[in-house]
Structure 1
Amino acid sequence: MGIRERHTRDRPPPGRGLARGKPPGTARPRSGGYGARAGAHGGRTGGARLPGRRARGGSTPVIATAEGLLDGVRRWLAERGAEPTPAKVALAVREQGGVLGDSEVLRFTHLLRRELIGAGPLEPLLADPDVTDVLVSAPDQVWVERGGGLELSDVRFADATAVRRLAQRLAAAAGRRLDDAQPWADARLPDGTRLHAVLPPVAVGSACLSLRVVRPRAFTLVELTAAKKIPPGGNAVLRALVAARLSFLVSGGTGTGKTTLLSALLGLAGPAERLVLAEDSAELRPAHPHVVRLETRPANQEGAGRVTLQDLVRQALRMRPDRLVVGEVRGAEVVHLLAALNTGHEGGSCTVHANTASDVPARLEALGTAAGLDRAALHSQVAAALSVVLHLVRDRAGRRRIAEIRVLARDTAGFVVTVPALRWGEHAFVREEGWPRLKELLRERGQEIAS
């Protein structure tokens, strides 16, 4: 006799267990949850014993473990094609486990919702407002970034299979394939969280997950200054930079806060300006009333339908942007961006990976020449298109901050170099040799900075 038949016949009388409808006190899921369908696999929930009824004619509980209950609920939802709403999950728990008290149903409803449509044991970490990154290296190695360097969390998975199941379910929720034939995936989850996952044997020992949390609201310059990411006095310079509509580039290493700073600066653009953003993964969230966001797309299983960042930049130019923004320049799109900034699209910006501010010209040169632009032409384009570089670092304490502001100039050979204008000193910005040039650029566009 199947499970469904047994529990249909043995259904408890009205009043026992939890009533239909939304369970009272059930926590609402996070906005834009991962939406995996009922048949998706979640992580293991351990082997905790559940209160349950004994099957007729036997002494074994119908559902003896949390894992068994989870599997039964998956089957129940899949058979009915039901979404894992609170009411449906509560009903499935009641039917799979026989007679359960209200508190037990609520507890397992929360567990199952987290396993079926959330991020499983990672859910509390992703909900933490201070967490920016969650990294899973092994079942017992879940690391988090809270702005002060990586920390090993207390979260643990049952085994490597549980990590693999969660990785595949999150990838499926984002519409990406992740299996033995395609052992890695890079995607944006419905709530904006950026996912990267790699399966064994490419990832040795266990599946690896990297989750970058995108907050729904961008930080303001005031907040970044209060958090000591911008030095005293830097706020006025950055505001003048945006108001002057100078084209600028934000550089830095991985995880230095480039996207955070760029989002804050874009929020300072005039409310009548149209911002068109082209990104590999939509992470920029400027607090601005007129934003158009474009995102790349990988090819489908037949190899068709791919949309590159280069494609997006070309399309963005046809959308009447007042400011053209590229989330991160990493390939041939640099040619189209430089061309756009040289043809009247002032105030544009982008980010680029570079270890130091002085490395930025070499980084752009490498990208441009790989796209077929010769060195001399590339440097001419950069010199005419970009004015300022904002370089960010992560210091020894793990704090992310602006290290310096530089202006672009050409050396005696005609190649672009970056000249220090402001450097974060002991307490505030310290003026360097490029400061007069930065002041001149701002003054030419009606922005005065106190000497």
Structure 2
Amino acid sequence: MTTEFVERVRNRLAGESRPADPVAVAEAVRAEAGGTLSHDAVLDAVRQAHHEFVGAGPLAPLLEDPTVTDVLVTAPDQTWTDGDSGLTRTDVRFADEEAVRRLAQRLALAAGRRLDDAQPYVDGWLPVPGGHVRVHAVLPPIAPNGTCLSLRVLRPATHTLDTLTSLGVVNEEGAEILRSIITRRLAFLVTGGTGAGKTTLLSALLAEVSPRERIICVEDAGELRPAHPQFVSLVARPANVEGAGAVELPELVRQALRMRPDRLVVGEVRGAEVCSLLNALNTGHDGGACTLHANSPSEVPARLEALASLGGLTGDALHSQLAAAIRVVLHLRRDPTGVRRLTEIATLHRTTATTHTTPIWRDGHWTPYRPLFEEATA
């Protein structure tokens, strides 16, 4: 179908005030074709038109694939997926640049966002069956080669620690260390890059928490689904198209403290909410946790200092609270083949001027600093 034909079908549906369901689309296609299409051609045209009007269009089958974590469109004839086997080019093609732009604008609208020449980029969440999709899009001229569309599929993290051990994410010795961290109620950070498996590991560790303890979790999207009878999830709400109605993570952390948590969890800290989290973990809520983007455990203090500055917390105040609140850092890496592994466990220590990390377990083995961990867990 040409862009002109799609627009005619779209205008007919709009003029008749009909929803873009398959029957209405089929009737509009037949009417606009003037009886010149065969039955098979009509079915094919309806399929393409439905993709243009509803959902993620031609990207929908890719998003439904359980092995896909990201769908990336860089040009009408270049659609890529990322997953267990790394970046892979697909055979999905768009008719032209305008088709990519229309899809990006429709997804932005579904996420309650605006995307046009005056607002040429967007970031938002799309609720889909079985999870969430984070949509990001950039229009020309910001993206000079054409509309760029990125969809991140966030599926519920339900793996157990035993499952992760069998998959090779962590060895048996590492799994025992992780269980001791949970049993001894040490607050911890799970760090790593995008797609390293931070949320998956955090969910597995929360499933190890005693069923007598109440876990209150704050997230941007409801990814964490541990097998735990006392798990309560609070999910942030973005602003609507008018910019109103947002409920953000710092407020949800404050609300969580009023819900009698035994453990407070933040799915991921990206900004000022780190101040609320550290305050909470210094008020008697042992065993809390969160995830954080970081290149290595040694960079965690500097990373948190930068985020805390967004909430008005000075460096000295941050390091003072950090050393008292967080005891352990768990670091994950994803290698070029897509394999995810727990590569380092480190403890946090306060010095005179700052906080630093010491690796006590690395690449499947204890380091000479093991006594520091035994001291922390005593």
Indicate the TM-score class for this superposition, using the shorter chain for normalisation.
Answer: 0.7 to 0.9
Contact 1:407–1:434, Cα closer than 8 Å, also in 2:
no
CA distance in 2, matches of 1:257, 1:309: 21
The structure whose Rg is larger is 1
With over 3 angstroms needed to count, the CA separation of the structure-2 counterparts of 1:283 and 1:81, relative to structure 1, is farther
With over 3 angstroms needed to count, the CA separation of the structure-2 counterparts of 1:102 and 1:235, relative to structure 1, is farther
With over 3 angstroms needed to count, the CA separation of the structure-2 counterparts of 1:368 and 1:175, relative to structure 1, is closer
TM-score scaled by length of structure 1: 0.75
- 2:15 is equivalent to residue 79 of structure 1: yes
With over 3 angstroms needed to count, the CA separation of the structure-2 counterparts of 1:107 and 1:161, relative to structure 1, is closer
SS at match of 2:165: helix
CA distance in 2, matches of 1:414, 1:123: 52
Which residue number in structure 1 is paired with residue 117 of structure 2?
Answer: 180
CA distance in 1, matches of 2:196, 2:218: 20
With over 3 angstroms needed to count, the CA separation of the structure-2 counterparts of 1:70 and 1:216, relative to structure 1, is farther
1:36-51 correspondence to structure 2 within 5 Å: 46-47=1-2
Higher strand fraction: Structure 1 or Structure 2?
A: 2
SS at match of 1:389: strand
CA distance in 1, matches of 2:331, 2:77: 36
Q: Please list every run of 5 or more consecutive structure 1 residues that lacks an aligned counterpart in the other structure.
A: 1-45, 48-66, 445-451
CA distance in 2, matches of 1:68, 1:317: 56
Which residue number in structure 1 is paired with residue 102 of structure 2?
Answer: 165
Report the residue type matching 1:124 in the other structure.
Answer: P
How far apart are residue 433 of structure 1 and its match?
3.1
Q: What is the aligned counterpart of 1:128 among 60, 65, 72?
A: 65
Which residue number in structure 2 is paired with residue 336 of structure 1?
Answer: 276
Report the residue type matching 2:273 in the other structure.
Answer: E
Q: Please list every run of 5 or more consecutive structure 2 residues that lacks an aligned counterpart in the other structure.
A: none
CA distance in 1, matches of 2:185, 2:37: 64
Deviations 1:251-271 (A, max 9, x none): 112332222222332333344
With over 3 angstroms needed to count, the CA separation of the structure-2 counterparts of 1:216 and 1:370, relative to structure 1, is closer
How far apart are residue 172 of structure 1 and its match?
0.8
With over 3 angstroms needed to count, the CA separation of the structure-2 counterparts of 1:118 and 1:372, relative to structure 1, is closer
How far apart are residue 133 of structure 1 and its match?
0.8
- 2:359 is equivalent to residue 417 of structure 1: no
Q: What is the aligned counterpart of 1:312 among 242, 252, 256?
A: 252
Q: What is the aligned counterpart of 1:198 among 138, 149, 172?
A: 138
Q: Aligned-pair RMSD on alpha carbons?
A: 2.7
Aligned length: 373
With over 3 angstroms needed to count, the CA separation of the structure-2 counterparts of 1:230 and 1:95, relative to structure 1, is farther
SS at match of 1:132: strand
Which residue number in structure 1 is paired with residue 308 of structure 2?
Answer: 368
Deviations 1:179-238 (A, max 9, x none): 111111111112111111111111222111111111245333333333322234333332
CA distance in 2, matches of 1:75, 1:353: 45
With over 3 angstroms needed to count, the CA separation of the structure-2 counterparts of 1:120 and 1:432, relative to structure 1, is same
With over 3 angstroms needed to count, the CA separation of the structure-2 counterparts of 1:435 and 1:143, relative to structure 1, is same
TM-score scaled by length of structure 2: 0.88
- 2:74 is equivalent to residue 137 of structure 1: yes
How far apart are residue 249 of structure 1 and its match?
0.3
Deviations 1:363-382 (A, max 9, x none): 12222344333333222211
Q: What is the aligned counterpart of 1:241 among 181, 184, 192?
A: 181
How far apart are residue 360 of structure 1 and its match?
0.7
CA distance in 1, matches of 2:222, 2:292: 16
Report the residue type matching 2:151 in the other structure.
Answer: L
CA distance in 1, matches of 2:186, 2:295: 23
CA distance in 2, matches of 1:84, 1:299: 23
Q: What is the aligned counterpart of 1:264 among 177, 184, 204?
A: 204
